[in-house]
Every structure is written in C-alpha cells, then in structure tokens.
Structure 1
Amino acid sequence: MAKLEVHQFPARSDNYGVLVHDPETGATASIDAPDADAVIEALYQKGWTLTHILITHHHGDHTAGNKRLKALTGCIIVGPRQEAGSIPAIDVEVNEGDSVAVGNSNALVIETPGHTRGHISYLFPEDGIVFVGDTLFSVGCGKLLEGDAKMMWRSLQKLMALPAETQLYCGHEYTRANTKFALTVEPGNSALQARAVEAEELAKRRQPALPTTIGRELATNPFLRPSSPEIQKRLGMEGRELWEIFGETRKRKDRF
C-alpha cells in the first residue's frame, strides 16, 4: 500500500497548514483550515483535490477557511464532537477512539484537551504521523485557555506514549522562541542546546523546524520533562506531582 504524502505550508502569520494525500485513491485532507487562500494555493501546487478537512479545535485560526473550501470543493469537514457547535460547516463529529478514513489510510482520533476543552489530535498509525494542532509544539505546548494543567498533562502523556519515531506536525512554528524559554528551565540539557542552535540556523534561512518527532520532543521539550531533576530543582519543586511541575512550567512560559 502506498504511503501517505504530506505537504506542509505556511499560512497566516505563524500557522502551518498541512495537506495529507493518499496517492492510490487521490483523497486529500487538509489538517485544519487556517486560511482558504493558502490551502487552495497548496492544492494547486501539488495538483491535488481536497476531499476532507480534519479540524483539531474550534479556534478561528484553524477553521477560518472551512466554509469557503467546502463551497469550492464539497469536502467533508470532520471535527471534535465536544466543539461541534463552534466549528463552521462541520459534517462529521468524532470522539476518542473514532477512526477517520482518508482514502486507504485511517486516522485514529485522540482526545487531547487543555488548550481547548474539546481539542483532538489525529494519529495515522500505519504511516507513523500525528497531527496535534495546538496541544504540543516543537519545544513547547499550547496555552491552557479552556483547560487546566492536570487536563493538559493527561493529554500530553497520551502523545508521549506514541512511538519515538512518530512524525509530529503542529499548528504553529514557535521553535526558536520556545528554545529560548526552555533553556531558562533546563540549561544543562545538551540536546536542547543543540536544538536551539539548529532553530536559529533554520530561522535565518526562513525554514521551519517542523515536523519534529515524539522522541525529539521527549529529549528537548520542557513541558514533557517535568521528571527532569534539573527542571524540578530550578523550579524548587523536587518530588512534586508531575502535573504540578508541568503547570508551573506553563505559568513561567506565559510570563516569559
């Protein structure tokens, strides 16, 4: 069976859009719809026809293109049942454990609330790819706008349990800024130090530091590393619950 093709492209000021294409059937899904024009341009460049939009959460910078893209293509819009009332033109509502077919590939729905209360991620297990919206970023994580630290930590643990080689695509590119913060809570992390240098070089070339991998995030992302003795010591939280340490790290990032 042919593997999915993935095309990532910039949209809006700091969003990244992604198209997922099954070459055997021609089915093509847009992961979120940050901007209709950007999605249309990406489809044109690849010569693909949009069949689905897979929405991770209700925020406007992830759903703004829904109505126009549906009017143009007749695509099926899939999104979290818990946020269906806030997602324009939604057709299919999904929950944890549901499966969404894109051609011959199937995405497993993982509920990852915290940034919003109904946020979901889409895992294509056979292709080793996960689309996490604004739950997890490269060396960062989403703000706790509708959930709390305990809720978000449970969501992150689901993603942390995926195979290390899983390719991770997220909704925004903040790597350079995120490494600057991460070094304030875990400056002795050599993998993080190298990541910061790489992020600077990529930024100079105007190239994204995405996608990343689960393994890379486990090694460098402070929001996935509350068990790190260095982080616990710097926060003065040795031996505290991991979700509490995560929550304090998130608060410090909010103030950074």
Structure 2
Amino acid sequence: MSERDEAGLHALPIDVEYGGRELTITPAVVETDRGLVLIDVGPKTAVDSLDVHLQDLGYGLGDVWLIVCTHHDRDHVGGLAAVLDRVDAAVATHRDEAPFVRGDRAPIKGDGDRYAPVSVDLELADGVRIPTLAGPMQVVETPGHTPGHISLTFPEGGLLLAGDALVADGSEPLAGPKPEFTHDVDRATASVGRLAELDVEHTLCYHGGYVARDNDRIAEIYDELRT
C-alpha cells in the first residue's frame, strides 16, 4: 500500500471526479498463487489509473483473475464493464448485491444514470475465505450502507478492509458510515458493532485510505452511533 504495505496486499489510491466533485478512492489488490484479486474498481474514469498502479507493482490488469465488489455503488463498481473489456476475470459480490451489479435491479442510490451491468460469477456469503499471499481473506457481512455490503478481513495481519462500513476522510481518523449515503442506518450501526468484535489492528477504508486504528476505536464508534 502506498501508506503502508502488507506482504502481498496493496492499496491503490486514485483521485477521480465523481458526482461533480473531486475525491480520492482506495481500491486494493492482493496477490495470490493464481494472480491478482482486485477489490473494487472505482468509476469508469479510474480504470486507466488502476492499470498504472498495477504496472508500478510489476503487474497489469491482465494479471487480475478475480474482482471482489464490496457493494454495488457506482463509485465502487462503475468501471467494472470497462475493466472486463480488458481482462477475463471473474466477478464476486454478496448475493444481495448481485442483482444490482447484474442489472436485474436499479442501484439504490444515484441519479438513475446506471453503469453498464455485468455478470456475477460468484455470490459471496459471510465467512467465505479466499487464499492469498497475505493470508486468508475472509468475507464479513456488513449490511446497512447497501443491503449486501461486505467488508474483508485478513486475520493473520489484523487488517480490516472496511469498504464503506467505516470512513477515514473526515476530521476523525476513523469514523462511522456517513448517514446521507447509508441505505439503512440501523443495520449499518449493527455492522460497526460486529466489526468491533473482530481482532483488528489497522484499517483500510475506501474513502480515506489506511489508518492505524484498531477495534478499540471501532468500538468507540459503535458506542457513539448508538447514543
């Protein structure tokens, strides 16, 4: 990662224009024996930057064999079709997110200008583990931001990839999900409580990147959200 590298795991911070504003997003990539697993892709405008990041690591988009989507929001998966035009990779997401990614249902958020739908090859459930060179990557169901939002943990390194279940782009180094972008605040709060129970030493957020904050801070956030 640019802020901090785990063995075989790299954050890919990208500056994009999205929704009429500039923001930094943080997809990630993890090395495996089969090639690369890409975690979220960003909007369509991020695809070339993804390729540049991977080339800097000695890879390219062609080395990606699996794309894991934490959820179906356009700033996370709007570039999926563009990536799949350039690489033959499988797409995985939670079973409750799959209808949105496939185009069976319209995205919950947004202005109706949906991204191109793609096929979903693997529907994920809580506890699924994917072997990687950074240790097993485990799916944790964290619904609320969207119905099937997932986070990912690397238990051997104490690392949490929070997706949008937590954010790190505000005045606090780590905070709860933003209510204005959260589909179900109560479920999102419960998901933060679940993350607080994990053995987390440090966190990577899609919005805000890497922060050296552990499950003690996540437990504080959970208490704050419940008051």
The alignment's TM-score, normalised by the length of structure 2, stands at 0.72
Contact 1:164-1:213 at 8 Å conserved across structures: no
Q: Mark the structure with the bigger radius of gyration.
A: 1
Mapping of 1:135-146 within 5 angstroms?
Answer: 135-138=165-168, 139-144=174-179, 145-146=182-183
Cα shift at 1:222: 6.1
What secondary structure is seen at the aligned counterpart in 1 of 2:64?
Answer: coil
What is the CA RMSD across the aligned residues, in angstroms?
A: 2.6
Write the mapping of 1:131-210 to structure 2, written as runs, cut at 5 A.
131-138=161-168, 139-144=174-179, 145-149=182-186, 151-165=187-201, 167-173=202-208, 210=209
Residues 170 and 97 (structure 1), Cα distance of their counterparts in 2 relative to 1, 3 Å cut: same
Given the alignment of the two structures, is residue 116 of structure 1 paired with residue 146 of structure 2, yes or no?
yes
Q: Give me the whole-angstrom Cα distance separating, in 1, the residues matched to 2:143 and 2:203.
A: 17
Task: Detail structure 1 runs of 4+ shifted over 4 Å in the superposition.
Answer: none
Report the residue type matching 2:207 in the other structure: H
Work out whether 1:19 is the aligned partner of 2:28: yes
- CA deviation string 1:132-172 (max 9, x = no partner): 111101232223432132x122100111122242x211111
Letter of the structure 1 residue corresponding to residue 84 of structure 2: K
- The corresponding residue for 2:221 is 223
Structure 1 Cα separation of the partners of residues 217 and 36 of structure 2? 30
The aligned counterpart of 1:97 is: 127
Query: Displacement, 1:46?
Result: 1.3
Instruction: Give unpaired runs (5+ residues) of structure 1.
Output: 174-209, 227-241, 246-256
Q: 1:102 offset after TM fit, Å?
A: 3.9
Change in CA separation of 1:105 and 1:69 when aligned onto 2, cut-off 3 Å: farther
What's the offset of the Cα at 1:216?
Answer: 7.6
Q: Identity percentage over the alignment?
A: 24
Report the CA distance between 1:81 and its aligned residue: 0.7
Q: How many residues align?
A: 188
Give the match's secondary structure for 1:38: helix
CA offsets, 1:12-47, max 9 Å, x none? 23242333332x736222221102122112112212
Find the counterpart in structure 1 of residue 57 from structure 2.
Answer: 46
Which 10-residue stretch deviates more, 77-86 or 124-133?
124-133
One-letter amino acid matched to 1:65: G
Whole-Å separation in 1 of the counterparts to 2:54 and 2:178:
30
8 Å contact kept, 1:4–1:127: no
More helix by share: 1
- Where 2:86 maps in the other structure, the secondary structure is helix
User: Which secondary structure does the structure 2 equivalent of 1:14 belong to?
Assistant: strand
Name the counterpart of 2:48.
Answer: 37
Asked whether the equivalents of residues 203 and 214 of structure 2 are also in contact (C-alpha less than 8 Å), the reply is: no
SS of the residue corresponding to residue 135 of structure 1 reads coil
Q: What is aligned with 1:212?
A: 211
In 1, Cα distance between the equivalents of 2:140 and 2:56? 30
More strand by share: 2
Taking the aligned partners of 2:25 and 2:146, their CA distance within structure 1 comes to 19
Whether 1:77 and 2:77 are equivalent positions in the alignment is no
**Structure-2 residue corresponding to 1:8:** 12
Code of the residue aligned with 2:93 in structure 1: it is G
- 1:47-84 per-position Cα deviation (integer Å, ceiling 9, x unaligned): 22222211111000000121121221112211111010
Provide the C-alpha distance between the structure 2 equivalents of 1:77 and 1:170, rounded to a whole number of angstroms. 21
